Amino acid sequence: MDRLLTIWIASLAQESPDGSTLRDYLALLDALSVLCPFTEPVRLGLLALPVRGPSRFFGGEEAVLEAVRQTVHDVVGEEPLLGVADGLFCSELAARAGVVVGVGLTECFRRAQPLDVLGRKDLATTCRRLGLHTVGAFADLEPARVAERFNTHATQLHRVARGELSELAGQRDARLVARLAQLRGEDDVHDEQIGFFGQRGAGDDRAQAAAHRVRRRLGVDAVVVAALCGGRGPQDRATLVPWGSPESVVRDDAPWPGQLHAPSPATTLAHPVAIELRDADDQPVRMGSRGFLSGVPTTLLLSRYARRDVVWHAGPWPIVERWWAVQRRRAHLQIVLTTGEAVLLVAESSRWWLIGIYD
């Protein structure tokens, strides 16, 4: 989870009928992009930027906070609320409170929050009746318990509470990027995908029209295409982007494996699922610091009741990613189950995640 600086500007949160809010927001985004090119428009009133890189450049987080405060003051003429924490969810909470959460203290900060911050009144009420008042208390529930008692929405919230997801589902405004692009006058360019479809023929135009229809039915990001972007090998060149989006947004947590040989999993989970591996003595199998497994995996636990027997495994193959920012120690593991299914796991921060199914 990235350490983010989140900026909350109350006067830019409300849409104005003449569109002035959106224009001010765009002006502020452009000004902040000069400070940090990775500044993200989250939704109206809210922006976020990764704080680690800029703080090295400006000489500390305090200096970045001051620079951002000054920029907002110059552009909007208002004092923003600023906050720093890991992940968008906690970072926004920090901004609302106007605090900087120390490195490594985000977990404590999140757990101490009241349940209302998850944004679901019904869930908060139910939990209060169960005697659960904080996010931490909710997070301590077994995932299986939550799944059987609440709906899927609550399972997502539970993952946010546990820190497995860094943001709430509705926290981002998915349409905002497209609207800002439209305001900049770049809309026509994006919808055409010039140079992406190569030479255009009648078939391409028909396909474009069809994609438009689906987008009108289901929303702007309903249709996605694979973007082929530059990479070191044939394996790390493809990513999925909404059809008609300005450019391929290469996410550093892209779930498809980068350095594995073919065959690759035909299903790569956009939201990896936390699982457990046990050995023959029912002890958890962990990835040691030298890249060895602590035992031979024999059972895969999707939840407490869904166990699958492992007949074969290969790996772990260590992967080093983003070596210039954070050293992440991760490793891939291939597993074949007794049912004949093959899956791809990744070990990260001493947990196992299901990231791919060889369907």
Partner 1 sequence: MTVSGYSYEHMFAFSTKRPTLPDDLVATLRPVALATSRRLPLGEPWRALVPGGGLRRGSTVVVQAPPGSGGLSLALSLVSEASTRGHWVAVVGVDDPGVVAIADLGVDLRRVLFVPRPRGAWAESAADLLDGVDLVVVRPPSRAAHGAARKLMDRVRERSIVLIALCEPSAPWPLPADLSFDVTRSQWITSSRLDARYLTVRVAGRGEAVRSAEHVVVLPNRRGRAATS
> Measured from the CB of residue 123, what is the shortest distance to partner 1 in angstroms?
22
**CA 279 to CA 286: how far, in whole Å?**
10
Tell me how far CA of residue 53 lies from CA of 5, 98, 213, in angstroms.
Answer: 11, 21, 41
> Measured from the CB of residue 163, what is the shortest distance to partner 1 in angstroms?
22
**CA 357 to CA 359: how far, in whole Å?**
5
The residue among 17 and 233 lying less far from partner 1, judged by its C-beta, is: 233
Give yes or no for a cis peptide into 316 (omega within 30° of 0).
yes
The residue among 253 and 341 lying less far from partner 1, judged by its C-beta, is: 341
> Measured from the CB of residue 294, what is the shortest distance to partner 1 in angstroms?
20
CB count within 10 Å of CB 349 equals: 10
The residue among 19 and 231 lying less far from partner 1, judged by its C-beta, is: 231
**CA 324 to CA 222: how far, in whole Å?**
33
Q: Residue 220 gets which letter from DSSP?
A: T
Beta strands per DSSP E along 9-72: 40-43, 46-50
> Measured from the CB of residue 314, what is the shortest distance to partner 1 in angstroms?
5
The residue among 80 and 265 lying less far from partner 1, judged by its C-beta, is: 265
The residue among 187 and 358 lying less far from partner 1, judged by its C-beta, is: 358
Give yes or no for a cis peptide into 37 (omega within 30° of 0).
no
Which among 321, 354, 316 has a CA at the least distance from the CA of 332? 316
Decide: 123 and 157 in contact? Cβ < 8 Å: yes
The residue among 17 and 266 lying less far from partner 1, judged by its C-beta, is: 266
**CA 127 to CA 108: how far, in whole Å?**
20
> Measured from the CB of residue 316, what is the shortest distance to partner 1 in angstroms?
11
The residue among 83 and 316 lying less far from partner 1, judged by its C-beta, is: 316
What residues line the site for partner 1 (CB under 8 A)? 196-198, 201, 203-204, 206-211, 213-214, 217-218, 222-226, 228, 234-235, 238-240, 243, 255-257, 261-270, 312, 314-315, 334, 336, 339-343, 356-359
The residue among 222 and 325 lying less far from partner 1, judged by its C-beta, is: 222
The residue among 179 and 313 lying less far from partner 1, judged by its C-beta, is: 313
**CA 59 to CA 242: how far, in whole Å?**
37
**CA 47 to CA 32: how far, in whole Å?**
9
> Measured from the CB of residue 339, what is the shortest distance to partner 1 in angstroms?
7
Q: Annotate 121-158 with b (16+ C-beta within 10 A) or e (fewer).
A: eebbeebeeeebebbbebbebebeebeeebeeebebbb
Partnered with residue 83 across adjacent β-strands are 6
> Measured from the CB of residue 237, what is the shortest distance to partner 1 in angstroms?
8
